[in-house]
Amino acid sequence: MIMTEKQIALIRESRDQLTPELEETSAAFYEDLFRRAPELRALFRDDLSGQGMRFMSAVSVIADNLDDPAQLDDHVSLLAEGHAQFGIEEPAYRAMEEALIHAFANALGDQFTSEVEHAWRSAFRQVSDQMRVRGATLRSN
């Protein structure tokens, strides 16, 4: 899926709007993820402090690279390598997408328009599809 320039701009703008409340947003995101998919909790270490910010920094790097396919590909390949051991399947990615959208909508209120939501969903799917495919290839080798 190709993101339009407008969508990339919307993603970066909302990423910047989220920055002041990133810590709370990422904590809320993981809480919501584990409410939706409690079976995922065991994959993560007990102490999640730091994880939210690692996740959000990765999201921010993705936002920076959405218009640079080669860079994006490198970054997503590295992420896929880090995740291959977990054997993450489609439903986990869907749960994560919903938790992310929910956390961003809560943090941004009216600024999180349906156009912004759609742009984030497209970016998330593009990245997660790429992570899954790459993860499956890594596991089958």
Q: With binding defined as CB under 6 A, does residue 45 bind ligand HEM?
A: yes
N-term to C-term CA, the chain: 27
Q: Which of 6, 16, 68, 86 binds ligand HEM (CB under 6 A)?
A: 86
* C-alpha gyration radius of the chain: 15
Q: Which of 10, 18, 28, 40 binds ligand HEM (CB under 6 A)?
A: 40
Q: Which of 15, 99, 127, 134 binds ligand HEM (CB under 6 A)?
A: 127
Q: With binding defined as CB under 6 A, does residue 49 bind ligand HEM?
A: no
Q: With binding defined as CB under 6 A, does residue 54 bind ligand HEM?
A: yes
| Alpha carbons 131 and 81: distance in angstroms, whole number | 8
Torsion of CA 25, 28, 30, 35, to 10 degrees: -150
> What are the backbone angles phi and psi of residue 119, rounded to the nearest 5°?
-65, -45
Q: Residue 6 Cβ, how far from ligand HEM at the closest point, in Å?
A: 21
Q: With binding defined as CB under 6 A, does residue 87 bind ligand HEM?
A: no
Q: Residue 8 Cβ, how far from ligand HEM at the closest point, in Å?
A: 16
Task: Give contact residues for ligand HEM (rule: CB under 6 A).
Answer: 40, 43-45, 51, 54-55, 58-59, 79, 82-83, 86, 88, 92-93, 96, 124, 127-128
